[in-house]
Amino acid sequence: MTTVVENHPVVSQKEWLETRKTFLAEEKKLTRLRDELSRKRRELPWVKVEKNYVFDGPDGKETLADLFDGRSQLVVYHFMFGPEWGEGCTRCSMGADHFDRSVIHLAQRDVTLLAISRAPFREIEAFRKRMNWGFKWVSAYDSDFNYDYRVSFTPEEMARGRFDYNYSMIGFPAEEATGTSIFYKDSDGNVFHTYSSYARAAEGMLVPYHFLDMVPEWRDEDELLPDGMAWVRHHDRYSEQQQLKSCCHD
């Protein structure tokens, strides 16, 4: 007999298993589609990086080629943190909370992961220490890098309201945006831009959403729309009770 709890059917284990197996076929189809999409992404053409970008970081001035740290592949997380902000974006921080444990594993596969923002390095470093993060994070404050890779926008662009973001002239509501860019360095030291993604394509960096998408109440953000992520805080700014309930340990 089927009952209903919280407007949801409750069935026998046998009925649940039959339904779950049917849904499994859909999940497998999505997995195969994702694999095919990843293959096509790897086959995209590359663009040689001709401009000499220089960043400020913990090791002083470094070029884009330096940031590879001896590896051939570089993942850049465009962290939203403008020169006048005082602290980094809460949503970017949600993603960055999981970087430290990824960096060491990626290094085993010839990949360097780091963050780049336009805030001055001293402000980046102060915020990084506040968040207790260890991953490398450099400043593009004196560089065109953020503008060229379409995650920072000039006052003139903001005044127009419509400009190039996420590969169309849709604009963005802030002078800094998020995204992920991938670079490759060959044996001769040449650097190539292979891929960039923006907007919801960056959700893969937001690990908590992977879990929220599996639980019964999903993301439960409808009441917060149009800004569904309004609930997100820096991890040191959730209430004391919420922090005590977490499984984080010093």
CATH number for position 194: 3.40.30.10
Please report the sign of the dihedral spanned by the C-alpha atoms of residue 8, residue 11, residue 14, residue 15.
negative
Q: pLDDT of 55-100, one tens digit each?
A: 999 999 999 999 999 999 999 999 999 999 999 999 999 999 999 9
* In-domain check, residue 3: no
* Top-confidence residue, 138 or 211: 138
The total of structural domains in the chain comes to 2
* In-domain check, residue 19: yes
* In-domain check, residue 179: yes
Cis peptide before 226 (omega within 30 of 0): yes
Domain that holds residue 122: 47-205
Please report the sign of the dihedral spanned by the C-alpha atoms of residue 236, residue 238, residue 244, residue 248.
negative
Q: What is the mean pLDDT of residues 212-218?
A: 80
* Top-confidence residue, 42 or 245: 42
CA 11 distance to own-chain centroid: 39
Around Cβ 19, how many Cβ atoms within 10 Å?
12
* Top-confidence residue, 235 or 197: 197
- Assess whether 192 and 74 both reside in one domain: yes
Would you place residue 250 in the very low, low, confident or very high pLDDT band (cuts 50, 70, 90)?
Answer: very low
**Mean pLDDT for the chain overall:** 89
Would you place residue 244 in the very low, low, confident or very high pLDDT band (cuts 50, 70, 90)?
Answer: very low
Q: Would you state the pLDDT for residue 68? A: 98
Would you place residue 245 in the very low, low, confident or very high pLDDT band (cuts 50, 70, 90)?
Answer: very low
Would you place residue 238 in the very low, low, confident or very high pLDDT band (cuts 50, 70, 90)?
Answer: confident
Q: What length does the chain have?
A: 250
Domain boundary among 168, 184, 205: 205
| φ, ψ for residue 113, nearest 5 deg | -115, 130
- Assess whether 60 and 181 both reside in one domain: yes
- Assess whether 62 and 182 both reside in one domain: yes
- Assess whether 25 and 98 both reside in one domain: no
* This model's pTM is above 0.75: yes
Percent of the chain surpassing pLDDT 70:
93
Q: Would you state the pLDDT for residue 4? A: 61
Q: Are 176 and 88 in contact (CB under 8 A)?
A: no
User: What 3-state DSSP class applies to 25?
Assistant: helix
Q: Would you state the pLDDT for residue 248? A: 41
- Assess whether 18 and 121 both reside in one domain: no
- Assess whether 104 and 198 both reside in one domain: yes
List b or e across 122-131, with b for residues whose CB sees 16 or more CB atoms inside 10 angstroms: ebbbebbeeb
* In-domain check, residue 82: yes
Would you place residue 249 in the very low, low, confident or very high pLDDT band (cuts 50, 70, 90)?
Answer: very low
- Assess whether 66 and 144 both reside in one domain: yes
Question: Which residues are CB-contacts of 180 (< 8 A; sequence separation ≥ 6)?
Answer: 75, 76, 77, 78, 196, 197, 201, 202, 205
- Assess whether 127 and 199 both reside in one domain: yes
* In-domain check, residue 226: no
- Assess whether 77 and 164 both reside in one domain: yes
- Assess whether 62 and 122 both reside in one domain: yes
Q: Are 137 and 124 in contact (CB under 8 A)?
A: yes
- Assess whether 186 and 125 both reside in one domain: yes
* In-domain check, residue 243: no
Would you place residue 109 in the very low, low, confident or very high pLDDT band (cuts 50, 70, 90)?
Answer: very high
Nearest CA to 81 out of 22, 133, 19 is that of 133
- Assess whether 110 and 159 both reside in one domain: yes
**Cα separation, 86 vs 121, whole angstroms:** 12
* In-domain check, residue 176: yes
* In-domain check, residue 214: no
